[in-house]
Amino acid sequence: QRVNVTVRGGVSMVLSGSAEPCAQLVVSSIGVVGSAEQNQRHSARFFDFLTAQLGLGPERIVIRFYPLEPWQIGKNRTVMTFL
């Protein structure tokens, strides 16, 4: 419930000066991606999954983590602060 992962295929992208196949994963979450230690663990798991599923080397993948506050996410006609 508290982690959103966005994956968009078919987007033209250049990574490290190369247009070879690559991926960017954007992860936003309330209370789960707020520290370097947390994100290091998440990053390892995401990289393992993405390299296996997409057949890309880890140098062709970038992950961006966005920590969110509960008041920044609306759900069920309110914000997460009140849920």
Token output for 25: 């994963």
Q: What pLDDT does 79 receive? A: 96
| Domain total of the chain | 1
Instruction: Decide: pTM greater than 0.85.
Output: no
Q: Establish if 76 belongs to a structural domain.
A: yes
Report yes or no on 9 lying in a domain: no
Per residue in 9-36, pLDDT (tens digit) is 888 999 999 999 999 999 988 888 889 9
- The answer to whether 79 and 69 are in contact (CB under 8 A) is no
Of 7, 23, 6, 19, the residue nearest 57 (C-alpha): 23
**Which residues constitute the domain of residue 57?**
27-82
Element (H, E) at 42: helix 36-54
Asked, for residue 16, whether it belongs to a domain, the answer is no
pLDDT tens digit string along 30-82?
888 889 999 999 999 999 999 999 999 999 999 999 999 999 999 999 999 99
